[in-house]
Chains A and B, each alone.
Chain A
């Protein structure tokens, strides 16, 4: 008790100004907690098969909407009998990421390569089907969290290597390569993602010869990936610039070729330096996946807002509940990523000092 008083004297009530600030903060906390609790729990409806119970509780969340539609929010219209395929993909992804992050295994490097190459291929075969006796599931039946994750993971898997190539290109000595990289990067960084998606969904078909066509989801994937690569390139370029000149010269002096010195000396260091930036780009990409909703792809946010107009569920609290639910899901993913990046940053900075 004594300690608490001492601590709060020092940290909360040191000066008159501080006392005032603390009181204002306490009031803010009270108001927020009170508002959130009464909306999410006290006044909320929890059970019900349609909108009746939500209309009866006009000042609280409508949770039955979320529980009733949860399956669609996760899988979209993916056929119920085939959803095990999605589950396998989710489980494999979670397992791989978990092993990579905990860092107590010896084959980490091989696993990382597998996750970047074999896993996407396996995912594609499992989700799309049409091979190995799996029935074909069209991408317009995919939806919800599945599509959000597919877009995010594709963006990540494609943008990292492409970003590295672009960053190297931007530092190349050949003016043509450098110029093309600069133009590419500045173009994609200069325009809003939403116009890129409009272009992908409205205009791309006009660029291609008659009869040649892409799947709508694939078009979005291309747009999102190219967009993310440009940002990735700039992050990695920052890492490359931070490598001292001596390292480049060292590579050259032992007679390594350009690619070998990049792969063995420069990139490993540059990538480690850029990890925080890379993860930030991933977080940005993950948040940006919501934009595909505007061009009519039913990602998590898209499918949630699509169900607002389900005649069985239309009620004033449904949209607010839906957005809060979507926000919670996205927040958990993004916060986890940023937490991970901070811990990595700390780990590397410590070992750096020890050396």
Chain B
């Protein structure tokens, strides 16, 4: 029976063919890159595309339209970074991620930037190998209920069934809130937000909870949006922030300053409409922002027009907010906490100087 031994040299033709086909297909689909430790900025410039992790569809933050084009404040932020780095708002690949895979996708380098309405918490910042760059939306966790159950305050939800998204901070906050107030509840945690919303809409739960902005966005997707009301109170702090991998400070600086540039532009009254005339402005802050004076872009590793491009192609923070979440959108969310500090809000950017 020794002919059953594994042959060392001979290999059947079919096997050979199969191996060749496999090896031909393999590198084609996988974008293998040199394992040399390279900065994120160089990598992006080399492949000339920014990969940006977004939601699987949350109107106002990041959602594809019928033609597959992404809209939302997070999608805008991705574009702003792409414009600053590569000069092209379309040199971008959106990677829709579930809540579960978002951090691994960032850790592993599958995406360069995570802009997926992610709450900035200490645990995530310190233990997950990622770095948050600053809240682009200050939010709090709220609840949506059917109008006809007659609930006006979260306090009245004692004994309610609550639908939530699994593995998010909302689950933890609900537990904290109900426990500290001695209230009972049943929680059903769904893997995807659209599943949770659908279950709530079908009557599986008395309330659905997520960040309040998310509630306004999801309400549009209910069978009868007018039959539901978002409760006023919030039970938590949810600073939603884009994030990058830990350990690449150059890249973190770029992403952070794109955010600040959009804020500074709004504060200085520079928007995509008036930017050409603003270049002639005598205001030194504006001149530094637009690269007329100083070489701030170069110190970021970009060119001095970086912020001009961002404002021209994407707009300032206020424009993006208005277009996606505010009066110019279907969601009609007030600026509230997200107004500039000069208007009584929390959005405050360090100066460019």
Give the segment of A39-47, A82-90, A205-213, A230-238 that binds chain B: A205-213
Give the segment of A20-28, A278-286, A308-316 that binds chain B: A308-316
* CB-CB contacts below 8 Å: A200-232 with B: 201-203, 205-206, 208-216, 218
Assess whether B98 is in contact with A296, with CB atoms less than 8 Å apart: yes
Assess whether A259 is in contact with B104, with CB atoms less than 8 Å apart: no
Q: In whole angstroms, what is the CA distance A25 to B203 when docked?
A: 35
Contact of A213 among B57, B101, B109 (CB under 8 A): B109
Assess whether A173 is in contact with B4, with CB atoms less than 8 Å apart: yes
A140 contacts the other chain (Cβ, under 8 Å)?
yes
Contact of B43 among A211, A263, A296, A309 (CB under 8 A): A211
Q: In whole angstroms, what is the CA distance A210 to B7 when docked?
A: 36
Residue numbers in B under 8 Å from A206 (CB-CB): 104, 107-108
Distance to closest chain B CB from A285 (angstroms): 18
Give the segment of A11-19, A116-124, A268-276, A337-345 that binds chain B: A116-124
Give the segment of B190-198, B227-235, B337-345 that binds chain A: B190-198
Assess whether A213 is in contact with B35, with CB atoms less than 8 Å apart: no
Assess whether B7 is in contact with A259, with CB atoms less than 8 Å apart: yes
CB-nearest residue of chain B relative to A209? B35
Assess whether A309 is in contact with B198, with CB atoms less than 8 Å apart: yes
* CB-CB contacts below 8 Å: B1-48 with A: 1-7, 10-12, 14-15, 17-18, 21, 24-25, 28-38, 43
* CB-CB contacts below 8 Å: A120-147 with B: 120-121, 124, 128, 138-141
Assess whether B6 is in contact with A316, with CB atoms less than 8 Å apart: no
Residue numbers in A under 8 Å from B93 (CB-CB): 138, 140
CB-nearest residue of chain B relative to A118? B21
B97 contacts the other chain (Cβ, under 8 Å)?
yes
Assess whether B104 is in contact with A202, with CB atoms less than 8 Å apart: yes
Please, what's the 1-or-0 string for A45-86, where 1 marks a CB less than 8 Å from any CB in chain B? 000000100010000000000000000000001000000000
Assess whether A319 is in contact with B198, with CB atoms less than 8 Å apart: yes
B126 contacts the other chain (Cβ, under 8 Å)?
no
Residue numbers in B under 8 Å from A212 (CB-CB): 30, 32-33, 35
Residue numbers in B under 8 Å from A107 (CB-CB): none
Contact of A117 among B17, B56, B202 (CB under 8 A): B17
Known: A121-B21, A121-B24, A257-B3. A202 touches B12 (CB 8 A): no
Residue numbers in A under 8 Å from B202 (CB-CB): 316
Q: In whole angstroms, what is the CA distance A196 to B138 when docked?
A: 37
Residue numbers in B under 8 Å from A55 (CB-CB): 223
Contact of B110 among A174, A213, A252 (CB under 8 A): A213
Residue numbers in B under 8 Å from A113 (CB-CB): 14
Q: In whole angstroms, what is the CA distance A173 to B6 when docked?
A: 8
Assess whether B2 is in contact with A173, with CB atoms less than 8 Å apart: yes
Residue numbers in A under 8 Å from B32 (CB-CB): 212-213
Known: A117-B21, A138-B93, A309-B197. A210 touches B109 (CB 8 A): yes
Residue numbers in A under 8 Å from B349 (CB-CB): none
Residue numbers in A under 8 Å from B100 (CB-CB): 202
Distance to closest chain B CB from A202 (angstroms): 5
CB-nearest residue of chain A relative to B222? A314
Residue numbers in B under 8 Å from A211 (CB-CB): 33-36, 38, 43, 109
A32 contacts the other chain (Cβ, under 8 Å)?
no
B282 contacts the other chain (Cβ, under 8 Å)?
no
CB-nearest residue of chain A relative to B6? A174
Known: A51-B223, A161-B14. A296 touches B109 (CB 8 A): no
Residue numbers in A under 8 Å from B107 (CB-CB): 205-206
Q: In whole angstroms, what is the CA distance A31 to B110 when docked?
A: 53
Assess whether A161 is in contact with B15, with CB atoms less than 8 Å apart: yes
Residue numbers in B under 8 Å from A161 (CB-CB): 14-15, 18
A177 contacts the other chain (Cβ, under 8 Å)?
yes
Assess whether A210 is in contact with B96, with CB atoms less than 8 Å apart: no
Contact of B11 among A209, A259, A308 (CB under 8 A): A259
Please, what's the 1-or-0 string for B187-224, where 1 marks a CB less than 8 Å from any CB in chain A? 00001001101100110000000000000000011110
Assess whether B201 is in contact with A314, with CB atoms less than 8 Å apart: yes
Known: A205-B109, A212-B33. A308 touches B198 (CB 8 A): yes
B278 contacts the other chain (Cβ, under 8 Å)?
no
CB-nearest residue of chain A relative to B34? A211
Interface centre among A173, A263, A311 (most CB of B within 10 A): A311
Smallest CB-CB A-B distances: 6 pairs: A205-B108, A209-B35, A211-B33, A309-B194, A77-B68, A309-B221
Please list 13 pairs of residues, one from A and one from B, whose beta carbons are closer than 8 Å in the complex, sorted by A's number. Answer: A117-B18, A120-B25, A171-B4, A172-B5, A209-B35, A211-B33, A211-B109, A213-B108, A214-B30, A215-B30, A296-B101, A308-B194, A309-B194
Further pairs besides A124-B28, A205-B108, A311-B221: 12, Cβ < 8 Å: A120-B21, A205-B104, A210-B35, A214-B29, A214-B30, A216-B95, A258-B4, A259-B10, A263-B12, A296-B98, A308-B194, A309-B194
Q: Which residues of A contact B (CB under 8 A)?
A: 51, 55, 77, 113, 117, 120-121, 124, 128, 138-141, 161, 165, 171-174, 177, 201-203, 205-206, 208-216, 218, 248, 251-252, 257-259, 261, 263, 294-296, 305-306, 308-311, 314-316, 319
